[in-house]
Structure 1
C-alpha cells in the first residue's frame, strides 16, 4: 500500500466504488493532491493511516459513491436566474404579469446585468400579448424566456429595440411568430424567431458571468455533481470558466464546454463570433475545462405550445421545415475531421434520424487516426428515437444522452402520445454505450438527478432481470440501481473522455465522491428521497448539508 504523508484516510463507510474489480469497499485514502491512493477495508486503511500519520475521517457507516456527472446543464442561464433574473411563478397570467414582473425586480441582487433589459423566465404565459407588459413597461425593453429556452415573450419596447418590424415582420423557416388578427406581433417568439431578441439582449459582462457560474456550481455541488457538460457555451462562458480555473482556483468542477455552432439564440452571440470561438476553443483548455466539444441545436421541443420537434411525415420523410440548422451534415463532417466531439440536440424521430445520418456521413468520409479511435459524438435528449434507428447508435459509435431528467416520469410525458419517450430499456437492449443522463438545468429549481431517476431504476431493473437467469424482485431493484449509478457516473466520464481519471473510486483517479443519507443499492433503491449530505471534489469538501457549508 503506498505511503504518503498529508493524506486523509476515510473509513467505516459503505463505499460503492463503481469499480468492476471491487464493487463495494469500506474505506479509502485521498492524497493531498486530490487522488485516491488506496481503497479497501477499514482495518487495512486505518493501519496504513497510522503508519503514515494520516488524518482520519469517520464515514459513520454512510453510503459513499463517485460524484455524479450531469450530461446537460446551462451554467450561465441557471446562475443568472438566481442572481439577476425574475423567476415568474407557474400561475402567472396576462392579467398579473406586469405586476409580478415589476415586484420580482425588487428581489434581484444585481440589476442591469443585460444593459437596460429586464429579464425574466417562466414556462409559458397563456394568451400572451405584449399589451400585458406595455402599461407598466412602456419604454423599458422586457424579455421573458420560456418554453425550456425555446420561446420568449417581449413587450413592444423590447421588440423595437431588437429590430423587429412589429407590424410587418416576415416569416422565415424555423421561426414561430405569434400574431394578432391583423398580422402584427403579439410579442411571443419561438425558435429562430428569437435570434434578434437574444442577440440584442446579449450576455452579461465577464465579472457577472463569473458570479452567476459560481452560484450555479454551488447548486450542482449540493446535488452531488462533480462533473458536467456545459451544453451551450459562448465566448463569455468560456472566458469565465478559464479565469475561474486558472486565475482564481475557484472551479471545483470538471466541465466539458460545448461551444455553440448554431442557432444564434442558443448562445446569445452572432454566428461569426461563434465560428471564431470554435476555432480557438481547443487551445483554451485548462485542467478542469475541456474545450474540444461543439453543440448544434437541430430542432425544437415536443412541448406545448411550440411542438417544434422535427418528426417524420406520413411517408417517412423528415419534417424539414422544423430543422433549425440546414448545413448540419456538412458541419458534422467538418468538425469530425478536426477531432471535435459534437453534441446534437434532437427531440423528434426526424431530427434524430438526421443527426444519425450526419454522423454516418462523417464516419464514411473521414479518415481517423486509428491509434486515437473514432470520436464518440452524441445526440442530446433522445426522447424521440424511431425503433428502426436504435441500432444506429451502436453502429456509428454514438452516445445517447437522455434529458431533461425532470420529464422522465412526468404528466406531460405520459400524455405526449410517445413524443416524450426516454426508452432506457430499448437502448440497453440495443447495447448502446455510453448512455448518459442530464438535467438540462438552466433556471431556478433543483438540479439534483437522484429523485428524477427513481422510476428509471425500476424500468432498467426489470430489463436486467429479464435478460439474466434471475427473476428475483429484490435482485431487480439492485440491478436497476447499479445500472442507473453507472449511467450517472462512469458513463458520463467515458462520454467526455475522462474515464481514465474519473467516474469511479479507484486508485489513481480524482477523488470526486459524495455521501448520501441512505443506501440506494443494497436497500430499497429509494432514489426519490435520497439526499446528498456531502460532496468532495479532488478531496476538498465543497458541500456539507449537515453543517450548512457551501463553498
Structure 2
C-alpha cells in the first residue's frame, strides 16, 4: 500500500460537494480523503508533500490533441512555426536534412499568413533537398508542399486527378506546383516512405512528457489510424502510458456505413480499457478558411468570393451519424464554417430522432463560425462544443486574412464562445496541438482576455464580449473535458474514489492578474498517484 499526503495546499477539487480543501490523501492511485491540514496530517506512514500554500487542481485533460503525431514531429520533423520568409524555411530544411539520414525529410508549421499557393512551391524545397522526398506541412496541417522528388515518387502527372476532397495545386501550364490541400495530403503520404514504429514510440514518449510538464493527464486523440492504435496499445501493454488516451477513428467520404461500422466495431472491441479506449468516429465536414475549403452558409465576403462544399453530403452524414449513434459510438466532428456546423447538428438531430437521447456528448470541434440560430441547438441536442480558445485573438505577428473572408456581417460569430455557453452548450476547451501550443495556461489566459499571451505581443481584444471566466475555463479543462473523454465518473475532479490525477501550480490562477495566467508553470503532475513530472526547482 502506497500513501501520499499533500498538505498546506489550496485544493480546488471541482467537486461541488466539497469545493475546497487544505489536504488530500492518496492511496494506491486513488483519492482517499480530503479535509483540512490538521485532520489529515495526523496520519502516519504516508509520504508527505508540502504544497507550500499553492493551488492544486485535478489533472487537466485535452480533449482534442494530436498527441502521437505532435510528439513524432518533435523527434523527426523540422519545426517551421517561426519562419517568416522563404529563406528561413530553406535554412531550416537544409539544416534538418543534413542532420538526419532517413529516406524522407519532414517539416511542419509554416504559417498561412506568410506562405501559400502563391509563393511556396517545389522549387523552394528542391534548392535545399534535391535528392530525397520532402514534405512540409503548414501549421494547421491542412496544406502541404512537396519537393520534386516526392512528386515523382507518388507519380503526380498532368493527368493525375484530384483525390476525393483534396486538391493538387497546378500552375498555368497544368504542372503541379508541389502544394497539396486537404485529402490530397493523405493520398500523397500513403505513397511516400513511412515513419517507423520505433520513431513513433519515441514520439509518443516525447509528446507525453511535454503534456505531463503542462499538467495534462488525459487526452482525446481525434485522428486515429491503424498505426496510432498500434503504438498506443503497445505503450499500454508496457505500462508506459503517463496519461489516459481516448481516440476517434478517422472516417472518410469514401467509406460506406458498412465499411465504417465494421472497422470501428473491430477497433472498439480491441481497445476498450480505461487507460486507452477507441470509442469514437472522426469526421472532417470541411477544411479551413486559409485554403478556402471552409463550408459557409453564405459565400466568402472577400473580393475573390466563392465558397466550399461540404466534404460529406447531408444524406451520408445523417446515415453515418445515425448508425454510429445507434451502436453508442461517440462522434467527433471537425467544423470550421457555419455550414459545416449546421450540417453536423442536422446529422445529430437525425440520429436522435432515430435512436432517442443518451449522454453521448457528441462533439463539434473548433466552432470557428457558428450561425446564431444554431447556438441553442447544441444544448437541445446535447452536443458538446469542443473549443480551442488560443485562436480567439488578434495575432500581433502573423497576418490573417480570414476575417475578410468571414466579413463584417458575421464577424461577431467567430469563436463566439460566450454566446455558446450562455445558450447552454456543453463545452470543453483544449489545444489542437501540434497546431498550437498545448500549454493550458496560455490557452486559458487567451480565453479570459481574448488577447494573445503578452510574451507574443500586444493586440486589441478580439470581440471581448465573448470572453470566458477563469472558472469556466478550468471547468473546460477538468470536469467538462473528463466528460468529453467519457471518463467523468472517475477523473476530472478530486473526490474519494477518483483517480489521483492532480497538479500543483506555481500561482493561483483564480487570483492573479489575467495577463499572468499564461505565465503559470506546473510544479508537479501526478497520474494515478505516480509522479510523472516535477519542475527542477520544486524541491519538496
- CA apart distance, 1:441: 0.2
Q: Within the alignment, does 1:296 sit opposite 2:283 as a pair?
A: yes
Q: Which residue of 2 aligns with 1:469?
A: none
Q: 1:107 to 1:139 in 2, by over 3 A?
A: closer
- CA apart distance, 1:301: 1.3
Q: Which residue of 2 aligns with 1:392?
A: 377
- CA apart distance, 1:307: 2.7
- CA apart distance, 1:177: 3.0
Contact 1:235/1:274, CA 8 A, preserved across alignment: no
In structure 2, C-alpha distance between the alignment counterparts of 1:121 and 1:276, rounded to whole Å: 33
SS at 2:191 equivalent: helix
Aligned residues: 502
Over the aligned positions, Cα root-mean-square deviation in angstroms equals 2.9
Equivalent position to 1:11, from 7, 32, 37 = 7
In structure 2, C-alpha distance between the alignment counterparts of 1:55 and 1:90, rounded to whole Å: 44
In structure 1, C-alpha distance between the alignment counterparts of 2:359 and 2:505, rounded to whole Å: 37
> Which digits, 9 at most, give the CA deviation of each residue in 1:488-545, with x for residues without a partner?
1000011122111011111110011001111111444542221111111111111111
Q: Which residue of 1 aligns with 2:183?
A: 192
- CA apart distance, 1:83: 0.6
Contact 2:293/2:308, CA 8 A, preserved across alignment: no
In structure 2, C-alpha distance between the alignment counterparts of 1:507 and 1:80, rounded to whole Å: 36
- CA apart distance, 1:200: 1.5
- CA apart distance, 1:61: 0.8
Equivalent position to 1:286, from 261, 266, 273 = 273
In structure 1, C-alpha distance between the alignment counterparts of 2:135 and 2:413, rounded to whole Å: 28
Q: Within the alignment, does 1:354 sit opposite 2:343 as a pair?
A: yes
Q: Within the alignment, does 1:343 sit opposite 2:329 as a pair?
A: no
Q: Which residue of 2 aligns with 1:432?
A: 425
Q: Which residue of 1 aligns with 2:231?
A: 240
- CA apart distance, 1:479: 9.2
- CA apart distance, 1:46: 0.9
Equivalent position to 2:22, from 13, 26, 37 = 26
Q: 1:59 to 1:263 in 2, by over 3 A?
A: farther
In structure 2, C-alpha distance between the alignment counterparts of 1:141 and 1:420, rounded to whole Å: 41
SS at 1:73 equivalent: coil
- CA apart distance, 1:37: 0.3
- CA apart distance, 1:273: 9.1
Equivalent position to 1:250, from 225, 237, 240 = 240
Q: Which residue of 2 aligns with 1:86?
A: 78
Q: Aligned ranges for residues 89-168 of structure 1 at < 5 Å?
A: 90-91=82-83, 93-95=85-87, 97-108=89-100, 111-112=101-102, 116-124=103-111, 125-126=115-116, 127-165=119-157, 167-168=158-159
Q: Which residue of 2 aligns with 1:507?
A: 496
- CA apart distance, 1:243: 1.3
> Which digits, 9 at most, give the CA deviation of each residue in 1:403-434, with x for residues without a partner?
2x33122334777642882222111211112x
TM superposition score normalised by structure 2: 0.86
- CA apart distance, 1:322: 2.9
Q: Which residue of 2 aligns with 1:468?
A: none
Q: 1:91 to 1:367 in 2, by over 3 A?
A: closer
Q: Which residue of 2 aligns with 1:35?
A: 30
- CA apart distance, 1:95: 4.7
In structure 1, C-alpha distance between the alignment counterparts of 2:277 and 2:437, rounded to whole Å: 25
Q: Within the alignment, does 1:207 sit opposite 2:202 as a pair?
A: no
In structure 1, C-alpha distance between the alignment counterparts of 2:206 and 2:36, rounded to whole Å: 37
Q: 1:261 to 1:320 in 2, by over 3 A?
A: farther
Contact 1:259/1:274, CA 8 A, preserved across alignment: no
Contact 1:408/1:452, CA 8 A, preserved across alignment: no
In structure 2, C-alpha distance between the alignment counterparts of 1:420 and 1:101, rounded to whole Å: 38
Q: Which residue of 1 aligns with 2:309?
A: 322
In structure 2, C-alpha distance between the alignment counterparts of 1:86 and 1:419, rounded to whole Å: 36
> Which digits, 9 at most, give the CA deviation of each residue in 1:173-199, with x for residues without a partner?
633332212121111111123232121
Contact 2:367/2:387, CA 8 A, preserved across alignment: yes
Contact 1:515/1:535, CA 8 A, preserved across alignment: yes
In structure 2, C-alpha distance between the alignment counterparts of 1:270 and 1:154, rounded to whole Å: 31
Q: Which residue of 2 aligns with 1:463?
A: none
Q: Within the alignment, does 1:529 sit opposite 2:519 as a pair?
A: yes
Q: 1:270 to 1:98 in 2, by over 3 A?
A: farther
In structure 2, C-alpha distance between the alignment counterparts of 1:60 and 1:102, rounded to whole Å: 48
- CA apart distance, 1:270: 13
In structure 1, C-alpha distance between the alignment counterparts of 2:442 and 2:219, rounded to whole Å: 18
In structure 2, C-alpha distance between the alignment counterparts of 1:58 and 1:95, rounded to whole Å: 51
- CA apart distance, 1:302: 2.2
Structure 2 residue runs without a partner (length 5+): 301-305, 451-464
Contact 1:262/1:271, CA 8 A, preserved across alignment: no
> Which digits, 9 at most, give the CA deviation of each residue in 1:380-404, with x for residues without a partner?
111111000011101111011012x
Q: Which segment drifts farther, 251-260 or 174-183? A: 174-183
In structure 1, C-alpha distance between the alignment counterparts of 2:280 and 2:6, rounded to whole Å: 36
In structure 2, C-alpha distance between the alignment counterparts of 1:437 and 1:399, rounded to whole Å: 10
TM superposition score normalised by structure 1: 0.84
SS at 1:72 equivalent: coil
Q: Which residue of 1 aligns with 2:365?
A: 380
Q: 1:46 to 1:23 in 2, by over 3 A?
A: same
SS at 2:207 equivalent: helix
Q: Which residue of 1 aligns with 2:213?
A: 222
> Which digits, 9 at most, give the CA deviation of each residue in 1:357-402, with x for residues without a partner?
111111112257xxxx342211011111100001110111101101
Q: Which residue of 1 aligns with 2:456?
A: none
SS at 1:353 equivalent: helix
In structure 1, C-alpha distance between the alignment counterparts of 2:472 and 2:487, rounded to whole Å: 19
